Amino acid sequence: MTTLHADTDTRVVSLLRVLWRSFTAGFALTSADKVALAARALFFVVVTSVLASMWRVAVLVNNSGSVSGGGEPSVAGYTAVAIFWYIAAAEAALIPVPSNLIEQVAKPIADESVEVWFSRPVYAGLPTVLFRFGQILPVSLTCALTGSVLAVALAGPPPNLVALTLALPALCLAALLSIVMQYSFGGVAFWLGDISGMWLVYHRTVFILGGLIIPLETLPPWLEPVAGALPFMATVYVPGRLASGHVEPTLIVRQLFWLTVALGVVALVFRRGEERVCRRSL
Amino acid sequence: MSAELVAIRPRSLLRVYGRLLANSWYEAYSNRAAFWTGAGAMTTNNVAWIIIWAFFFDEVGTVRGWDGDRIRLLLAVLATAAGLVLGFFNNVRRLAEMADTGEIDAALALPIPTLPYLACRRVKPGGIGDFVFGPVLFLLAANPTPVRTATYVVGSLSGAAVLIGFLTAVGSVGLRYRNDVVSEQGFQAILLFAFYPVDIFGPWARFFMYIIVPAGFVSAVPVRLVDEFSPGLLALQLGVAVALMAVGVLTFNWAMRHYTSGAAWTQA
């Protein structure tokens, strides 16, 4: 019995070590490529400037906007400064994650090279997810820093420092959740084979129901609760909402909930997919 | 090589490119599932943008002359122009990548000009979806009178010329320095900015979107031509289209002067 426990402990420690090394390897790989990091940051700056500027103008000159408590014009409760911080954080959550990650996951499944994964002593699924997370985190942090500088320079100081502090872990969770969700969608290739084009559908869903371009509060009344109940909001809206000055720690709890669900789904999808591949190989 | 080029008459060349395009089309269409998935995904993408802009303008009303109707016209023009380029001439955004895969080497051995050959060599279903979606959206949502329709056609074609010239230029820079980050970021930037109504922004952003990344000439200027036609603006739009095509060709020729094969022969 004691030996069994010791074996299990050793296996868990080994697994944790593999996961940690996968994460640090991904982190080191991206951090070393300074040019690519700068290019992504520049792209982030351009996209954020355009989108946030458009919203800012819309808030300041729109015909139907209300006046918030502080006397500033606002749309759906977002002032010109708040909407800039929202867009900066939302883009910082989205841009670092490769837009075609679903295709990248689906490709080895569709061409059956994924079978190599199944022959390894440690199941490669989770380490691969953490390697990706390690790759993406430096870009997320760079974008967060750049976005903060940009927002202060073009809009003004953060509306609430406590909320901004909460936005940082929310940003990391959003990136991790986004990766796990895209792995789940990519795993559909076990059954459908070629799923090219699905990444675009996923991304546009995030655009609308995740609150990337328009915060959930600006959606029509019938759609807002639907979007709020789906996991897409945890990948973009949550960091944006917190960075825009709303102290709502429960949003992070919702992210953790969706992360747990997504990890369960991805494990199930890949286990069933592995079984299917093994059956086919017999 | 140049003597051989002179020997081929322009009409024959056009016939060659026409057949090449037809072959590329059949190649793409041979995988029906992938073809319809790609075209369907792009249509979904366009519908998503229509929804996003509808929600946006419902919330904020008219902003500096832009409202829901005008933005649908912008999407119709953009889908047509981008669909034409990315559907039928998709390789212009893959020039750097094609150096690594050996496709440029193969094209250089042929007795026809390299750039048009490469451009016609790949049809992408997603772009076809856009190319069909654009005119349908225009007919359904943009009040198509004969004059507006003619301007829309000219505007979309010239927008496509701007896009193809810009993509060829940034793709050629990527080809010259063997780094497709430049071409990919250029592609993402021009397409992204073309989705936005340029007039909403301040002077610096407008400078950027007309001069540095000429996205305004892909969608916003053609939209203005359809809504408020003026010969001067049309001349400007056509002039920019011709100039950017020339820049694209010159940049490609410059990149080819420095070209050395980068094909991975080990894969042979």
In this prediction the ipTM stands at: 0.75
Contact A201 B44 (CB under 8 A): yes
Q: For chain B, give the percent of residues with pLDDT over 70.
A: 94
Contact A63 B61 (CB under 8 A): yes
Residue B131: Cβ within 10 Å count: 23
Q: How far apart are CA B268 and CA A166, in angstroms?
A: 53
Check residue A246 and give its pLDDT.
94
- Give the residue, A153 or A3, on which the prediction is more confident: A153
Alpha helix locations (H) across chain B? 2-7, 10-30, 32-60, 68-88, 95-101, 103-108, 114-120, 125-141, 146-177, 180-194, 203-207, 220-227, 231-257
Q: How far apart are CA A44 and CA A171, in angstroms?
A: 15
Q: How far apart are CA B175 and CA B97, in angstroms?
A: 8
Q: Is A67 a residue whose pLDDT tops 60?
A: no
Binned at pLDDT 50, 70 and 90, residue B60 comes out as confident
Range of weakest confidence among A1-5, A79-83, B159-163: A1-5
Q: What is the mean pLDDT of residues B203-221?
A: 88
Arithmetic mean of pLDDT over chain A: 86
Q: Is A206 a residue whose pLDDT tops 80?
A: yes
Q: Where are the domains of chain A?
A: 2-281
Q: How many angstroms separate the CA of residue A204 from the nearest CA in chain B?
A: 6
Q: What is the mean pLDDT of residues A50-56?
A: 84
Q: How far apart are CA B222 and CA B70, in angstroms?
A: 12
**Which tens digit of pLDDT belongs to each residue from B116-160?**
999 988 888 888 989 999 999 999 988 899 999 999 999 999 999
**How does DSSP classify residue A75?**
E
Q: What is the mean pLDDT of residues B208-230?
A: 92
B158 class by beta-carbon count within 10 Å (0-12 exposed, 13-18 middle, 19+ buried): buried
| Residue B136, CA distances (Å) to A201, A261, B133, B155 in order | 20, 41, 5, 16
Nearest alpha-carbon partner for B65 in B209, B228, B191, B261 = B228
Contact B64, B224 (CB under 8 A): no
Q: Is B217 a residue whose pLDDT tops 90?
A: yes
| A-B Cβ pairs (cutoff 8 Å, strict) | 98
Check residue B1 and give its pLDDT.
45
Check residue A62 and give its pLDDT.
62
Check residue A166 and give its pLDDT.
96
Check residue A14 and give its pLDDT.
83
Q: What is the mean pLDDT of residues B181-185?
A: 78
Arithmetic mean of pLDDT over chain B: 87
Binned at pLDDT 50, 70 and 90, residue A232 comes out as very high
Helices (H) and strands (E) in chain A, counts: 13, 3
Residues of B in contact with A220 (CB under 8 A): 55, 58
Of these ranges, A6-20, A215-229, B28-42, B52-66, the one predicted with the greatest mean pLDDT is: A215-229
| Residue A211, CA distances (Å) to A68, A86, B116, B209, B237 in order | 21, 10, 41, 25, 35
Give the three-state DSSP class for A45: helix
The edge-to-edge listing of strands for the beta sheet with A66-67 is A66-67, A73-75, A78-79
Check residue B158 and give its pLDDT.
97
Residues of B in contact with A54 (CB under 8 A): 196, 200-201
Check residue A3 and give its pLDDT.
57
- Give the residue, B265 or B23, on which the prediction is more confident: B23
Q: For chain B, give the percent of residues with pLDDT over 90.
A: 41
**Which tens digit of pLDDT belongs to each residue from A154-196?**
899 999 999 999 999 999 999 999 999 999 998 888 887 777 6
Hey, is the C-beta of B212 within 8 angstroms of any chain A C-beta?
A: no
Contact A135, A142 (CB under 8 A): no
Binned at pLDDT 50, 70 and 90, residue B76 comes out as very high
- Give the residue, A19 or A1, on which the prediction is more confident: A19
List A79's β-bridge partners, or say none: A74
Check residue B96 and give its pLDDT.
85
Contacts 24+ apart (CB under 8 A), B259-262: B259/B99, B259/B104, B259/B175, B259/B176, B261/B99, B261/B102, B261/B104, B261/B105, B262/B99, B262/B100, B262/B178
Q: What is the dihedral of CA B134, B140, B142, B148, to 10 degrees?
A: 80
Structure tokens at A141: 């942090």
Q: What is the 3-state secondary structure (H, E, C) of A79-125?
A: EHHHHHHHHHHHHHHHCCCCCCHHHHHHHHHHCCCCHHHHCCCCCCH
Hey, is the C-beta of B41 within 8 angstroms of any chain A C-beta?
A: yes
**Which tens digit of pLDDT belongs to each residue from A253-265?**
999 999 999 999 9
Structure tokens at A225: 């609760």
Q: Is A85 a residue whose pLDDT tops 60?
A: yes
Q: What is the mean pLDDT of residues B71-88?
A: 94
Residues of B in contact with A50 (CB under 8 A): 192-193, 196, 201, 205, 209
Residue A141: Cβ within 10 Å count: 17
Contact A43 B188 (CB under 8 A): yes
Q: How far apart are CA A249 and CA A168, in angstroms?
A: 12
Give the three-state DSSP class for B258: coil
Would you list the DSSP string of B164-193?
A: HHHHHHHHHHHHHHT-HHHHHHHHHHHHHH
Binding-face residues of B in 145-164 toward A, CB within 8 A = none
Check residue B115 and give its pLDDT.
92
